[in-house]
Structures are given as structure tokens and as C-alpha cells.
A and B are shown apart, each in its own frame.
Chain A
Amino acid sequence: MPGSVTLASRLPIVFFFLYLAVQIALPVYRLLQPRPTRFGWQMYSAASVPSRVWIMSGDRLQEISPGSYIGNFRSDLEWERYALPHLCRVRSGATAVRYLMPLDAVVREYRC
């Protein structure tokens, strides 16, 4: 019926504005969070993974690859949140993990 407004005819309008709202609001929200993160088009914008990592076992310090135990090492992984506790779990005798973040001058330490 010409001129009639049905639910089906409104769906494209609703989808259009909802899609735009999500695709603008999500990257804006992501910009306010520590970079880089996902779903914000932040390709190669920063790195949240360390450049160097050491395992401390008592007095002994052993350097390991930052990508150890990681199947696909990406610069936007939440490395500090997930990898640090994991390294403490899998490296028997580890008392701390020391790591150097990109362009940082100070080595950080995570106690196991």
C-alpha cells in the first residue's frame, strides 16, 4: 500500500543508524582505553607487549622470548594481564618476571 509505514520498511532505517552508532561509538570508546585494543581500527598504532622478558628464579635471571608460550604473537595482546601469571605458573621456581615495555627506560617486575 503506497505511503504505508510497516515494521519491515522501518528495519533498514533502524539498522542504518544503529550500525553507524556502533561503528562510531566503539572506536571512540576504544580511543579512551589503553592502546592498542581491538574493534577500534588501531592497526600498528602502539604495542602492549614487551620488547624483552626475563624470568627470575632466586638469584638467577634468564632471558626468554616475549613470544614464549604464545601461538600468534601480536602487538595488541593484553600481555601483562594474561602472560605474566601464566609465566609464573609454567616456569617452576620462578620468583618474578621482569620485562621491558617499548621505549620504557625502567624494567618492570611482576612477583610470582
Chain B
Amino acid sequence: MLKLFSEVVPARPIKLIERLVGWICLVRLIEEYRVISRVLVPQSLHFPVIEGLPSLTLGQAAIVLALWFGAALAFAIGWKTRISGPVLAMVMGYTLMIDQQLYFSHLYLLCLIVLLLTLAKAGIASESNFVWRWPILLLQIQLSIVYFFSAVSKVNSVYLRGYMLGANLRKDLPGVVFTPRMLTTLAVASIVIELFLAGAFWVRNLRKSAVVVGVLFHFTMVLTLTPSVAAQLLFFAIACISIYPLFFLQKQENDLVATQTMDVPLDRGKVIGIG
């Protein structure tokens, strides 16, 4: 088990994911600006996430958003990611705590992804071709946690009776979709799919099926749920799908690590290549 903490994986796919996530965080800033400018006005009711934690004024929020922009841009172009990553995760994480109206699960997931991607490079020379494997494993586990708890939390009468889907599906879908039986069928199907995705990525024979099912599932949601939440679902889809390639990393027992320029001892490290 402790061997995990000396294992590394190739940096190239991780850096590509880092760039993608950085750009998503940058684009997500537009949505944050839209929501924050409606939530932090004096006439809007404050819903504290933590009782006693003060809200922000619009002026203070502008500073937070400027920090977000700078950190996300730096992270997206791969500049000083050891600093921009933690700053970006902290700023996005802070906005989740300001007001319940500013809490979004996809933003929480993006925070965790940025944090773990940054940790994958902690203590490793920037020119190295490898990053730590343990934060990547945490990202993989995180994806399963998201799908698992999303499925389990939906096992309740409000969801199973189709209320949530009925309220959030596009109103221009065929009428048959909105019948109680169909809404319940769709509700059960969504729970089954999420449970499948929580486990299937860990089974070698099911991994490719999981990618297909996952991509179809996320984009079906984006296309069929009401446009007011489509942007959020798209961010969530890309955040989740960005983790999928990590399940295709394959172990390669070789001595490459010893030849890499790294400022940490990795003489007993294993290299995990992408397959």
C-alpha cells in the first residue's frame, strides 16, 4: 500500500487535463459573475452556508472574481501552477461558502480537481515528465464518490415519483415524457446509471462501456434538462469526463524514473504509463 506514495504517472496527460480544467474554470467565471451580481445585491435575501460568516459586498466580490480570473488563466496556460492552482481552488472554494445561492456541486468538484492536480506535481521538478500517482488515484476515487452519493441521495419519494425530473426537464419535450410512469422510469434509470458509473470504471472489462455510458448520460442531461441549468450541467459533465482518461493509465514496471530530473528520491518508484 505504501508503495503507492512512491509511484508516478506520465505528466503529459495530466497536464492536458490541467489545461482543460483551467479553461473550464475560466469560462465558469462568466456564470459566477452572472449569479453573484444577482445574489449579492442588498434586495436579495442572504442564505448563509455557515451561520455568522459574513456575506460580501459587490465591491469585495469583484476582487474575488479578479483573483479567480488571474489564477484560472495562469492555471489554463500552465504558468506557475503550483501557486495558481491552490489560489484558484481556494477562491472557488470560498465562493461556495458565501451563500447557499452560490453553492454548485460542479464548482465544488472543480475545486477538488484543481487541488488534486496541483498536488500531483508537489515536490517534483517542473520539467519532469512524471507526476505523483496518489493524487490521481484520489481523483479517480472522487469520481466514484460523486456518482455513488448522487445515486444514493436520489433514493427518496420526491425523486422516485419524478418530481425533480418533471420540474427540470425541458418543457418542449413530448408530453409522454411527463407522465408519472415515464418520470418514475427515468428517475430509476438515472439512479441505476449513476451506480453503474460509480463502480464500472474500476472493472477493466467495463471501463470503455463506462466512458460511453457516462458521456451519453451527461450530454443527455445537458440536452434534455431546462436551459436555465444547461450551463451548470455542461460544466459538471466536462469536470466528470475530464477524470475518465485517468482510469486508462497502465502500470509499467521499468527504470525510467531514475533517469528523470526530479528533486525527490524516486529510486524505487514505479512508472504508470497511459494505455
Q: Give residues in A with beta carbon < 8 Å to B.
A: 2, 8-9, 12-13, 15-16, 19-20, 23-24, 27, 30-31, 35-36, 38-47, 69-78, 82-83, 86, 102-103
* Residues on B with beta carbons closer than 8 Å to the beta carbon of A39: 108
Q: Which residue of B lies closest to A51 (CB)?
A: B167
B157 at the interface (CB under 8 A from A): yes
On whether the beta carbons of B163 and A103 are closer than 8 Å, the reply is yes
A-B contact pairs, 27 of them (CB 8 A): A16-B4, A20-B141, A23-B145, A27-B145, A27-B153, A30-B153, A38-B103, A41-B153, A42-B153, A45-B158, A45-B159, A46-B159, A46-B164, A70-B44, A71-B35, A71-B40, A71-B44, A71-B45, A71-B101, A72-B102, A73-B101, A74-B100, A74-B103, A78-B100, A82-B46, A82-B47, A103-B158
B138-A16 in contact (CB<8A): yes
Pair B145/A41 contact, Cβ less than 8 Å: yes
Residues of B within 8 A of A27 (CB): 145, 149, 153
What is the distance, in angstroms, from B215's C-beta to the closest C-beta of chain A? 18
- CA separation between A42 and B191, bound complex, in Å? 12
| Chain B interface residue number, banded | 35 or more
A83 touches B45 (CB 8 A): yes
Summarize A's interface: helix, strand, loop or mixed.
Answer: loop
- B interface with A by C-beta (< 8 Å): 2, 4-5, 35, 38-41, 43-49, 96, 100-103, 105, 108, 112, 119, 123, 132, 134, 138, 141-142, 145-146, 148-150, 152-154, 156-159, 161, 163-165, 167-168, 236, 265, 267
Query: Is A69 in contact with B101, judged by CB distance below 8 angstroms?
Result: no
Q: What number of A-B contacts does a CB cutoff of 8 Å give?
A: 121
Bound-complex Cα distance A12 to B264 (A): 13
Q: Closest residue to B1 on the A side, CB-wise?
A: A13
CB of A31 within 8 A of CB of B39, answer no
Main secondary structure of the interface of B (DSSP, over half): helix
Question: CA–CA, A2 to B156, complex, Å?
Answer: 54
Residue A47 contacts which of B2, B49, B152, B167 (CB distance < 8 angstroms)?
B167
Question: Is B134's CB under 8 angstroms from A86's CB?
Answer: no
Cα A41 to Cα B154 with chains together (Å): 10
B149 x A42 contact (CB < 8 A): yes
In whole Å, how far is B195's beta carbon from the nearest beta carbon of chain A? Answer: 13
Q: How far is the CA of A78 from the CA of B96 in the complex (A)?
A: 15
**10 additional contacts (CB under 8 A) given A27-B149, A42-B153:** A27-B153, A38-B49, A41-B146, A46-B156, A69-B44, A70-B44, A71-B39, A75-B167, A76-B100, A78-B100
| In the complex with contacts A35-B153, A41-B150, A47-B164, A76-B103 CB distance below 8 A | yes
